[in-house]
Structures are given as structure tokens and as C-alpha cells.
Amino acid sequence: MRLEVCVDSPAGLAAAVAGGADRIELCAALGLGGLTPAPGLVAQAARCGLPVVAMIRPRPGDFVWSEGDLAAMEADIAAMRAAGLAGVVLGASLPDGRLDGAALARLCTAAAGMERVLHRAFDLAPDVAQAVEVAVRLGFARILTSGGAVRAMDGRDRLALTLRLAAGRIGILPGSGITAENVAALLAAVPVAEVHASCAGEVATGAQAVAMGFAPALRRETDPGRVRAMKAALAAVQSRV
């Protein structure tokens, strides 16, 4: 059982590696759902010794991209390739929530030869079967999805459907709200080979930064103990298979 840990800081990256993560999803601003990481963090991740896939998302909000957004994303993909990262995490939607196949094809072309992951734009798609077929046709390695719910535990039925529709043609990576305490129950309903989690705890922000409106009072940061606990929980599930 593989564990992908999403991180958005040097401390989070170090914690994920120390805790035994199998792969890193590298982002900025996880509190906003993840944005494209900065060059300095990318350079650190490239040296971490684990496979790293980088989020390519130039702004918060929806996944309906303008021409300027797409051009920026193509440049960011090129930067991740130059840095030596294993892959990129992509998504694009039409205004009605369907996957934007044309935009995704353009981004996949820019990322040719890299591992490509379809992110939770997939969860906005009204027709799961259609969205799976788009992802398969474009050659994505896997789909990161919560089953269309805020938390993967609440999206188990749609996750199970997605896994059936994938039929071994593409990986399904459940993510969002997965912890060492609930992962066994999730995997009992959705028997996949890997999961995605932040393994994060709350960390206090300095009072002056909070008072000036620079940050919330608490932020989430990946914790190596939580990563180890998740790995142990996954090993326990694996031992019962």
C-alpha cells in the first residue's frame, strides 16, 4: 500500500520524507486546495529522494482556465520538467463542471513524457463515466478524487463506482480527509493500492502575524508521526489482504 503525502512547505516536505511517505504531491497554499509551488520549494523537493508530482494551478477558485492561465500552466510544467520532478497534477473544467478535454489535451501535450495526474476537478464532473473515459483517453496515470464529496469517507459510493469504471486502465487515488483512524474503513469499501493524505496537525501562528491579518491563528502542517501512523495503518490493512 502506497502513501502519497501532499505538502506545501519545506517543513512539510521534510516531515513527509522522515515519516516514510512513498510519494510527494508538492503544492503551495493547501488551505486553498493547492496551487503551483514556488521554485525554491521545487528545488528542495527535487532533492528529497522520493518521486514528486507538482500541482499546476496558477490561481485559486474554479478550474475554468483562460488563455493566460493555460499559457502560465504550460510554462510551469516546463519548469517542473527542468527541475527533474517525476510528474504534474492537472485539471480543467468547463463551466458546467464537465472536464475540459481540449484544455487537458493541451496541458498533457506540454507534459509529454512526465507522469500526469488528474486532480479533483474530476469531482465536479456530473457524469463519472464520461470523466473517466476522458482521463483514460488522455493518458493520465491516475485520478485523485474524493468521490465528489468534501471528505473521501463520504464519497465512498462514487469512489467505488469510479474504481469499477476504471477497470484497471487508470489508477484511482482517494484523497481528502483520510487519516490513520479511518483509512481501513475506506479501503474496505474501495480496495485501491494507494491513498493521498496531508497527515497534518494544527500549528499555532505567531500572534503578530495573526493580528496583522497575514495568517489564521492555526495552520496545518504535515507531521512525521502522523505519516508513520498512516503507514502503519496501511501495513495493517495489507497484512489482512
Q: What is the DSSP string of 147-185?
A: TTSSSGGGGHHHHHHHHHHHTTSSEEEEBSS--TTTHHH
**pLDDT of 211:** 87
Report which secondary-structure segment, H or E, holds 145.
strand 142-145
**pLDDT of 66:** 98
**pLDDT of 210:** 75
**pLDDT of 202:** 80
Beta carbons within 8 Å of 99's beta carbon, 6+ residues apart: 91, 92, 93, 118, 121, 122, 125, 130, 131, 134, 135
Q: What is the pTM of this model?
A: 0.94
Report DSSP state, residue 84: T
**pLDDT of 12:** 97
Alpha carbon distance 139, 106 (integer Å) = 12
Q: Which residues of the chain have pLDDT under 70?
A: 241
**pLDDT of 206:** 83
Per-domain boundaries in the chain? 2-240
Fold type of domain 2-240: TIM Barrel (3.20.20)
